[in-house]
Structure 1
C-alpha cells in the first residue's frame, strides 16, 4: 500500500496557511519551484488536483479541502509521536498564564496532548486578563504567557495568531438598535473593552455598560439573553447570537494579535518545548474552515 510522505503534507499545509508557494518555500527551506514540484508529487500520490489552477490566489479544490483535514490530523499525530519518543526525559515545572477563554476551551486540548508526550513536565496554569498576566510575569510569577495585543506595532513576544473581531448580539433581541447602546464587557484592563469604547466614542455613539463579567461563559450567556452587544473573535461566536456589520451601522474593528511571552532570563528545555508546541498548535488552527477551527471567544482577554 502506498503511503503519503509527511514532508509533502507539511509543505501542502504551509502553502495553504501562508497563501503562496513562495512563502511556503521560505517556511520549509525550499525554493518556490521545489514547492511546486512537491505539490505536483502529492497530487500524483493522491490522484487528485488540490488547487484551482486558474485562480489568481491559492484556492483549494474540494479534494484539496478534504486532504487538508486529513493532513492536519496526520501531522499532529506524527509530531506527537516523535516528541514522545525523542523527549521522554524532559522535566520541570512551567507556570503558564492565559486568558480565561483559552484555558476554558482550546488550551485543554493542546495541553493534554503536550502532557501525554511530556509526562514529567508539571504545568501550573493561571487565568486572567492579558495585561494582568503580563504584569504577573514581569513580577516573576509566570514563566510563559499567552496574551492578546491591540498595539501590534509595539508588541513584543512571539506572534502565534491573528484574527479579526466581530460585533455580536442576541439572535432574539434588537438591543443593537437601542440608544444608548447596551454593552456586555469584561472589566478593565480588558483590551476588547477598550477597543469597543474607543470605537463608539470616535463614532459619537452613546453607550452604557449593561453587564460586566470576566467570565467567557458569563458574557456569552448575557449576550444570548439579550442584555447587550459585545465583541468576539470571528471564529468563536457562540450559538444563539447574530453578527453585526456595516449594514447595521457597526464598523469593522480590525484585528488583534495573540503572542507568546517568555519570562526574561528564564532558561528551561521544558518551557522551550511548550512554547514551540503552543505556537505550532495555533499555526495549525484554521479559522473559517471546519477542522481545527478556533473555538474561543476573545471577549474576555
Structure 2
C-alpha cells in the first residue's frame, strides 16, 4: 500500500495556500529548490502532475485539486492526533493579535480545535488593524500576531496565505453604480483602505468615504444596509453580500499576504499555536 508522507503533503498544501514556491519555502523553512524537489517526489509517488507547468501563477491540475482536498484533511487529522497525544507538555497563556475579519471568520474554528487539543493553554485574543498589531507586538504586548502585508513583504513573519481581494456590496441596493463611488472603510492605517484609495486614484475613478468603522462587523453591517461598497480578503467574504468585479466596472485589487509573527523567545505554547495556525489557515 502506498503511503503519502505528511512532510510532502504539508509542502504541497503550503505551496497552494501561499501562491508560490518561494513563499512556501519560507513557510516550511526550506530552500525553493528543496520545495521543488518535494513536489516532484510527491508527483512521482502518485504518478501524476500536480501543477500546470509554464503558468505564471500556481495553478493546480485536476489531480492536484483532488489531492489538495485529501491533503488538508490528512494534515488536520495528523496535527489533531499529535496534539491530543501530547497536551500535558504544553501549558500557559498565549496572547494572540489578529485582524477583526479573521477573528470573526476563520480563526474561531482553528482556535477551537487547538484548544481541544491543548486544554492547558489559555488564549487571549485581541483584534486590531494589522499595522497596529505589529507595532504592539514590538512593544511586547503579544506572543503571536496574524497580520496582513501589502505585497511580498519585508521578510518579517512566516507567510501562511496569499489572499485575493474582493469588492463587495449589498445585494439589495445599487450603491455600487453611483459616482462618486461610496466607500465603507476602516480608519488609517488600514491596509485595505490604502489599497482601495490608491487603486481608484490610479484608475481615475471618483470616490467618497461614506462610512468608517474600525470593526469587521460594523463594515459588513454598513455594506448590507446599502451605505456603500468595500473590499475584503477572499476567505473572509460572508454570505449575504454581493461580489463585484470587472463586469460591474470594478478594477482588480490584487492580493495580500497573511503572515504569522512571533515575539522574541516565545514559549512552547506560543510556538505550538503558531505552527497550528500556519498549517490550518486556508
TM-score scaled by structure 2?
0.80
Q: How far 1:152 moved relative to its partner?
A: 3.4
Q: How far 1:97 moved relative to its partner?
A: 0.6
Distance in 2, matches of 1:213 and 1:240, equals 19
Distance in 2, matches of 1:30 and 1:137, equals 30
RMSD (CA atoms): 3.3
Gaps of 5+ in 1: 44-49, 286-301
Gaps of 5+ in 2: none
Aligned to 2:3: 5
Aligned to 1:270: 269
SS of 1:88's partner is: helix
Note closer, same or farther for the CA distance 1:75–1:186 as it changes in structure 2 (3 Å cut). same
Aligned 8 A contact 1:80 1:113 in 2:
yes
Residue deviations 1:54-104 (CA, integer Å, cap 9, x gap): 97666443x764454233223211222113324521222211111112112
Distance in 1, matches of 2:84 and 2:33, equals 23
Aligned 8 A contact 1:11 1:35 in 2:
yes
Aligned to 1:118: 118
Q: How far 1:237 moved relative to its partner?
A: 2.5
TM-score scaled by structure 1?
0.76
Alignment of 1:167-246 (within 5 A): 167-246=167-246
Distance in 2, matches of 1:206 and 1:53, equals 40
Q: How far 1:213 moved relative to its partner?
A: 1.6
SS of 1:18's partner is: helix
Aligned 8 A contact 2:102 2:236 in 1:
no
Count residues in correspondence. 271
Note closer, same or farther for the CA distance 1:171–1:129 as it changes in structure 2 (3 Å cut). same
Distance in 2, matches of 1:166 and 1:150, equals 15
